[in-house]
Amino acid sequence: MTRSADTTTGVAAPALPALPALAADDRAELTDLVSRLGAALDEHRFDVLAGLFTADATARTPGGTAEGRDAVVAQATRNHVGYERLHHVMTNVLVEPAHDAADGVRSARIRANLTAHFAHADGVPVQVLGAVYRFGAQKTDAGWRFTELQVAPVWRTAAA
């Protein structure tokens, strides 16, 4: 295993093992899955969320921890339903394979930056959150689904 120096610290880091590339259609489907999550939350279409997660999905967010798809959906609903206007902006979506099965890549990791605006009917944000989303995903017979969701806040503003 070769080591390369981090240009910011000068510290040698172990090289990561090469993983198989994700097919372009898998990468597109995973990126779309991230966008569908944001759109469902923004539009209060909480019924759509169940179709984005596996039955055993888990979530760790500022709103709590949930285990199982129904609990993940209930937590997301509880944490978003009180805001009439939501705007989730997800950028810098990075997708990489997480596991190579004999028949191809069946799991992936996703990282995305999030800026989320929470507002009531007047449209004035009550809070704005900057965070990092981290997802685990698995390829199922129905397509890619989230197995894990983590939201790590980086910054937050609140109404004065």
Would you list the DSSP string of 42-62?
HTT-HHHHGGGEEEEEEEEET
For 21-158, the fitting CATH number among 3.60.40.10, 3.10.450.50, 2.40.100.10, 1.10.150.20 is 3.10.450.50
- Reported as a single tens digit per residue, the pLDDT across 43-80 is 999 999 999 999 999 999 999 999 999 999 999 999 99
Residue 32: pLDDT over 90 = yes
Are 122 and 21 in contact, with CB atoms under 8 Å apart? no
Q: In this structure, are residues 117 and 87 in contact, taking their beta carbons and an 8 Å threshold?
A: yes
Whether the per-residue pLDDT at 9 is higher than 70: the answer is: no
Q: Which residues sit opposite 4 in a β-bridge? A: 13
Instruction: Determine the distance from the C-alpha atom of residue 8 to the mean position of all C-alpha atoms in its chain, rounded to a whole number.
Output: 27
Q: What is the pLDDT of residues 71-106, one digit of tens each?
A: 999 999 999 999 999 999 999 999 999 876 656 669
Distance between CA atoms of residues 13 and 16, nearest Å = 9
